[in-house]
Structure 1
Amino acid sequence: MEYFKVNDKVSALDEAIDGVVVSVKNDEVTVETTDGFSMTFKVNELIKTNTTNELNNFIKINGLAQKNVDIFPKKNNNAPKFKSDATERPVPEFDLHIEKLVKSKGGMTNYDILTLQSETAKRHIEFAIKNRIPKIVFIHGVGEGVLKAELDFMLGRYDNIIFQDANYQKYGLGATEVYFKQNVK
Structure 2
Amino acid sequence: MNNTFQIGDRVQLLDEPLEGKVIAIDDTSITFLSSDGFELEVASADLIRLPDNAAREHLSGTVNPSLKEGDSPKRKNPTQSRKKKGQDPPVVVDLHAEKLFPQKNFPDAYELLDRQIEEARRMLEFALRKRIQHLVFIHGVGTGVLKSELETLLRRYPEISFNQADYRTFGQGALEVFIPQSAFS
> Scaled by the length of structure 2, what TM-score is found?
0.51
Match of 1:159, SS state, is: coil
Question: Residues 100, 180 of structure 1: CA spacing in aligned structure 2 closer, same or farther, 3 A cutoff?
Answer: same
Gapped regions of structure 2 (runs ≥ 5): 1-82
Partner of 2:138: 139
RMSD over aligned CA atoms reads 2.0
Partner of 2:147: 148
Determine if contact 2:89/2:134 at 8 Å carries over to the other structure: no
Match of 1:89, SS state, is: coil
Shift of 1:86: 4.4
**Runs in 1 of length 4+ with deviation above 4 angstroms?**
none
CA shift digits 1:64-114 (9 cap, x unpaired): xxxxxxxxxxxxxxxxxxxx9742322110100010011245361111000
AA in 2 matched with 1:177: E
Question: Residues 107, 183 of structure 1: CA spacing in aligned structure 2 closer, same or farther, 3 A cutoff?
Answer: closer
Match of 2:181, SS state, is: coil
Q: Based on CA coordinates, which of the two structures has the bigger radius of gyration?
A: 2
Partner of 1:165: 164
User: Matched residues, percent identical?
Assistant: 44
Output the CA distance in 2 between the equivalents of 1:167 and 1:96: 17
Show the 5 A alignment for 1:100-115.
100-106=99-105, 108-115=107-114
Q: Does 1:118 align with 2:117?
A: yes
Gapped regions of structure 1 (runs ≥ 5): 1-83
> Scaled by the length of structure 1, what TM-score is found?
0.51
Output the CA distance in 1 between the equivalents of 2:173 and 2:166: 10
Determine if contact 2:97/2:106 at 8 Å carries over to the other structure: no
Question: Residues 158, 85 of structure 1: CA spacing in aligned structure 2 closer, same or farther, 3 A cutoff?
Answer: closer
Match of 1:88, SS state, is: coil
Match of 2:161, SS state, is: strand
Output the CA distance in 1 between the equivalents of 2:106 and 2:182: 44
AA in 2 matched with 1:95: D
CA shift digits 1:153-176 (9 cap, x unpaired): 000111211000000111221000
Partner of 1:127: 126
Partner of 2:86: 87
Partner of 2:96: 97
